Amino acid sequence: MEKVRLGRTELYVTKTAFGALPIQRISKADAVKLVRRAYEAGINYFDTANMYTDSEEKLGAALHDVRQNVIISTKSGGTDKKTVLAHIEESLRRMQTDYIDLFQFHNPAVLPDPNDPDGPYAAALEMQQKGYIRHIGITNHRLHVARESIESGAFETLQFPFCYLASGQDYDLVERCRQADMGFIAMKGLSGGLLNNAEACYAFMRQYDNVVPIWGIQHEWELDQWLELTERDPGMTPELEEVIRKDRQELAGEFCRSCGYCLPCAAGIDIPQAARMSALLRRSPYQPYMSDEWHAKMHKIEECVHCDACKSRCPYGLDTPALLQRMLADYDAFYAVHHNDK
């Protein structure tokens, strides 16, 4: 399987990487089987995070006996030295390893300051000096923080949302990382599930030799899909370009990436799903969303208390309450026509 250099880390990772967030949703036995299959098929890069419940533990169970053959990245959302130190120690224990290849600060609202002796960066530096972590990176959903991380020179990698719906500013980040010899790790390659042509997504990523896409994998068929594409290695074609053109046209403007940073909601609204309902109804089988359960979930939007917490937390600057109201109106219109469909 093709490997690419992850910037100045000098780590060589498979161009197809395994995103381990979704394995928290399946049993330990199924997760171990899935991760092990990925490893045996040639994937050598696995990405997780301290906050992904038992994802780290499942990775450790699957990979501890082949640890020297794989590259693992994990993350901490801690905002002070003490918390980050505790998270790193916990991650090492969960993953049954004595080192982390790439430690990443998890979507900080403010860039960690390398000169703050009590800040989160000080924890990463201390653990790096002790040999417990080998490289320091950052993940983010905010353009200004991502740019600052590149300019600072303090981080070896950047993990950022990137797919064929990307803006010019996103492409600029990829190029800035190339110039800074900073590894670029692409998350949200399917835009939170809104993009349903995996071949088009794969071929798009293939065009950028300094981009390592992480594909979230929960099911055997998803792993099979990425392994088949990796083996076949399709390039861009006029047909795939047309798929991309149509998707860009349909999904242009404001849309929810389902990052989940809006949560928790004071009214109990499932914002990451509800805020992209129009696309889900038209880009995936809609029948599940016609259930009584989903009808009730969508009408939780009427209970919004307009605290604007979701709006203030959104890294993309969406007016989330207004977006939810538009989604509910569209859902009700769609429901009126299709709720009895089989």
pLDDT tens figures, 310-327: 999 998 889 999 999 999
Q: Which letter, b or e, does each residue of 311-330 get, where b requires 16 or more Cβ atoms within 10 Å of its Cβ?
A: bebbbeebebbebbeebbee
Strands (DSSP E) found in 180-306 = 183-187, 211-216
Domains in the chain: boundaries: 3-246, 271-338
Q: DSSP per residue over 94-150, as a string?
A: HTT-S-EEEEEEES-SS---TT-TTSHHHHHHHHHHTTSEEEEEEE-S-HHHHHHHH
Segment (H or E) for 238: helix 238-250
Give CA 63 to chain center in angstroms: 21
β partners of residue 137: 104, 157
Give the residue among 300, 325, 250, 242 at the shortest CA–CA distance from 280. 250
Query: What pTM, to 2 d.p., does this model score?
Result: 0.88
pLDDT tens figures, 65-101: 999 999 999 999 999 999 999 999 999 999 999 999 9
pLDDT for res 342: 73
Higher pLDDT, 304 or 252: 304
pLDDT for res 17: 98
**Cα–Cα dist 256/283, whole Å:** 14
pLDDT tens figures, 251-302: 876 778 888 889 999 999 999 999 999 988 988 889 999 999 999 999 999 9
Q: Contact 75/104 with Cβ under 8 angstroms?
A: yes
**SS3 category, 166:** coil
Q: Contact 72/137 with Cβ under 8 angstroms?
A: no
CATH class of 3-246: alpha beta
Q: Is the pLDDT of residue 177 over 90?
A: yes
pLDDT tens figures, 131-148: 999 999 999 999 999 999
β partners of residue 71: 45
Q: Is the pLDDT of residue 52 over 90?
A: yes
Q: Is the pLDDT of residue 51 over 80?
A: yes
